[in-house]
């Protein structure tokens, strides 16, 4: 994805290709990095967090919803502007049942284990791990 210039704010931004899952501390937006270049990218919660910060060595980015678009703004984006890669959590409610879910190689068994533990925790009856013939929460 190539950043675009917002002339009214004097900053570059990306329009996210999918809806971002809203999580505390913008955790849905995991990471952004350039295809070329070595500048450090630092995620902040908003532009106000970089007021007075030395901008010489780092590019700061944050998420904003702007006129219906989901954007990631950059401060101190180095030139020339190149394509960027974005790692993010797609909004769960926007996924269809037929959408493929990408699982990183080697983590398939961990995902199966997490799903098994989740669904086993969905029991509708109380369970007592002690083998004493009583299923009473008061014990």
pLDDT in tens, 54-113: 666 788 888 888 788 889 998 888 777 788 888 888 888 888 888 877 777 888 898 888
Question: Is the Cβ–Cβ distance between 33 and 41 less than 8 Å?
Answer: yes
pTM: 0.65
Question: Is the Cβ–Cβ distance between 86 and 18 less than 8 Å?
Answer: no
Domains in the chain: boundaries: 4-97
Beta bridge partners, 70, equal: 65
- What is the predicted pLDDT for the residue at 19? 84
pLDDT in tens, 33-59: 888 776 788 888 888 777 776 666 788
| Assigned token pair, 115 | 């799903």
Top pLDDT among 131 and 61 is at 61
């Amino acid at each position: 994805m190539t950043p675009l210039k917002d002339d009214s704010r004097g900053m570059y931004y990306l329009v996210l290709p999918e809806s971002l899952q809203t999580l505390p501390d913008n955790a849905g937006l995991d990471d952004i990095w350039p295809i070329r270049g070595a500048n450090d990218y630092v995620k902040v919660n908003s532009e106000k967090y970089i007021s007075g910060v030395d901008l010489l060595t780092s590019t700061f980015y944050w998420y904003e919803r702007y006129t219906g678009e989901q954007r990631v703004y950059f401060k101190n984006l180095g030139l020339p502007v190149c394509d960027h890669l974005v790692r993010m959590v797609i909004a769960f409610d926007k996924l269809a049942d037929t959408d493929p879910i990408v699982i990183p190689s080697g983590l398939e068994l961990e995902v199966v284990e997490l799903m098994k533990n989740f669904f086993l925790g969905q029991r509708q009856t109380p369970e007592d791990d002690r083998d004493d013939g009583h299923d009473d929460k008061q014990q």
